[in-house]
Amino acid sequence: MTRKQVRAVDERAMKEFGMLGLVLMENAGRNCAELLISLGITGRVVVCCGKGNNGGDGFVISRHLENSGVDVRVLMCVPPETLSGDAATNFQIIQRAGTPIVVPPFGWQAELASAEWIVDSLLGTGTQGAVREPFVSAINAINEARRRVLAVDLPSGLDCDTGQPLGCCVRAEHTATFVARKRGFDAERASDWTGSIHVLDIGVPRFLVERISYE
């Protein structure tokens, strides 16, 4: 799917089928957590979150990992007050639940050093143009940490349509992408950034996905 098609899936699932954005986010995050558990976790998982829906997915992932007994820590790339919509709702849930949350400013290298796995929930498929701060520093710190990395939907900094890095890009061992592979994944050397790709369901009717795929 292209960036435009990805956006259409969410919009039309809500408008034409009455699905709630919170439900789609819940399904995405829960299935990511289950995938990560299946890949094997023996230590801490550090979930790095931005402010959009990708960050919201990260909050859901954190909750489900904690519910499964995993040691979780959430690193915010942006101040919590910049969150809105479904992402803000899911942040409030983990905040009230007492999930360890670190907000800026802080030293990324020191925080990431404690991780066995890093979950990249910084930037999503809508990202276009060169990556800017504070995400540049966060992406560089993730790559320098040399930990196992699961990217949510696509590695932060990878262009959804072209598969090219937008200045800097997370280098993931695994990518959990939603609904369908993204067009950029088939670009030459895109796999250097995505690692192994896992396509996860978020509950959108198959009928809608197939219709949009052929439009």
Digit-coded pLDDT (tens) for 142-151: 999 999 999 9
Instruction: Give the residue-averaged pLDDT of 58-75.
Output: 98
Query: What tokens were used for 184?
Result: 């950029």
Which residues are within 8 A (CB) of 33 and not within 5 positions of it... i.e. 6 or more apart? 60, 61, 64, 65, 68
* Closest by Cα among 79, 82, 166 to 126: 166
pLDDT at 52: 93
Percent of the chain at pLDDT exceeding 70: 100
User: In residues, how long is the chain?
Assistant: 215
What is the pLDDT averaged over residues 4-32? 96
- Rounded Cα distance between 180 and 206, Å, is 11
> Among candidates 193, 68, 200, which has minimal Cα distance to 123?
193
Is the pLDDT confidence value at 185 over 90? yes
Spatial contact of 13 and 19, defined as CB atoms under 8 Å apart: yes
This prediction has a pTM of 0.97
The residues, ordered by sequence, that sit 6+ positions from 210 with a Cβ below 8 Å of its Cβ are: none
- Tell me the pLDDT band of 118, cut-offs 50, 70 and 90: very high
Q: Which residues are 199's β-sheet partners?
A: 177
pLDDT of res. 105: 87
Q: What are residue 208's phi and psi, to 5 degrees?
A: -70, -45
pLDDT for the residue numbered 90: 98
196 beta partners: 174
* pLDDT surpasses 80 at 53: yes
Confidence band for 184, pLDDT divided at 50, 70 and 90: very high
Residue 133 buriedness (CB in 10 A; 0-12 / 13-18 / 19+): exposed
Mean pLDDT, the chain, as a whole number? Answer: 96
Give yes or no for residue 215 having a pLDDT over 80: no
R_g of the chain, CA atoms, integer Å = 16
- pLDDT band for position 36 (50/70/90)? very high
Judged against a pLDDT cut of 90, whether residue 43 lies above it is answered with yes
Domain 3-213 belongs in CATH node 3.40.50.10260? yes
Q: Which residue has the higher pLDDT, 206 or 214?
A: 206
Tally of CB atoms within 10 A around 17: 12
Closest Cα to residue 151, out of 183, 189, 125? 125
Q: What's the mean pLDDT in 104-132? A: 94
